[in-house]
Amino acid sequence: MRPPTNYKSRSMRLNSAWRYGINHLVTGLAILSTALVIVPLVAILVYLIYKGASSLNLDFFTHIPAPVGETGGGMANAMLGSGIVLVLASSMGIPVGIAAGVYLAEYGQGKLLAMAVRFTADVLNGIPSIVMGIAAYSLIVMRQMHFSAFAGGVALAIMMVPTITRTTEEMLMTVPHSIREAALGLGVPKWRTVLSVSLRTASPGIITGCMLAFARVAGETAPLLFTAFGNQFWSFKLNEPIAALPLQIYVYAISPYDEWHRLAWGGALVLILMIMVSVTLVRIYAGRGVLKGAS
């Protein structure tokens, strides 16, 4: 922007110069702050990838941790444990989350109850994950008197529900009413319309939303600290302590051994790659619109 030149008086010219000066100053500050934020954040990302890539190898994916003092070993048991806990969490959290989202989008339009559910879901989304951990501990671990994979799954499932609910609702809202009306007009009952028309049309978006929720809770450590608890060995049983990748990263990061630090960096890279993939997919689907993928 260039200041105009046809001024009537000197004070007006000075005033204008001042205003344009401020304009340039603030523009510069905004660009500077963006640079100040983006550069270190990118540096963190690059550093994590660099450190992680140099510690990943085949052993990392196939071996359990080596005893202290020995080199080698991997995090295979932690990845399997994370997988088991996450499958448990998804099998509880995803159906409930999608169903709640269906209620909000298909049945609750304009209802006060739906507003309240939406609001509660948003608030629940902001509750610290460690509180979920304590709740699952108080409910399951204190009663059973031992840590278990199941308790970890419950804690993560609770965290998945609000995210999935809101994504499902938003994706269903993008499905045009004319498609639903077409189905209803052909005599299809409403429940069938919701399942095979609305949900099916919105499915790419909903699936990626679930993936994002999955990736988010995959990196959660706090809810697993006193539910899944961690385990140095293979474990497959749902009512026993189980290893999990983020837990293992935490334990290894605060340990004094270099070899364990290396494993922690590798684990961090695995987590980040998972998140990168899901965020990218979400952007692709959010960007191109669900309908184009479905028709």
64 versus 291: smaller Cβ distance to another protein:
291
23 versus 54: smaller Cβ distance to another protein:
23
Distance CA 295, CA 292 (A): 6
> In angstroms, what is the minimal distance from the CB of 130 to another protein?
5
> In angstroms, what is the minimal distance from the CB of 200 to another protein?
13
37 versus 53: smaller Cβ distance to another protein:
37
> In angstroms, what is the minimal distance from the CB of 62 to another protein?
23
Distance CA 167, CA 101 (A): 8
77 versus 262: smaller Cβ distance to another protein:
262
57 versus 280: smaller Cβ distance to another protein:
280
> 111's torsion region: left (phi>0), alpha (psi -120 to 50) or beta?
beta
> In angstroms, what is the minimal distance from the CB of 224 to another protein?
10
> In angstroms, what is the minimal distance from the CB of 233 to another protein?
19
Count of positions (residues) in the chain:
295
Helix then strand then coil, in percent of the chain rounded to 5, is 75, 0, 25
Query: Which whole-number Å values give the CA distances from 125 to 90, 139, 161, 163, in the listed order?
Result: 16, 20, 9, 7
Residue 104 three-state SS: helix
Count Cβ neighbours within 10 Å for each residue of 256-276 and write b for 16 or more, e otherwise.
eeebbbbbbbbbbbbbbebbe
> In angstroms, what is the minimal distance from the CB of 145 to another protein?
13
Distance CA 279, CA 194 (A): 27
Cβ atoms < 10 Å from Cβ of 192: 12
83 versus 176: smaller Cβ distance to another protein:
176
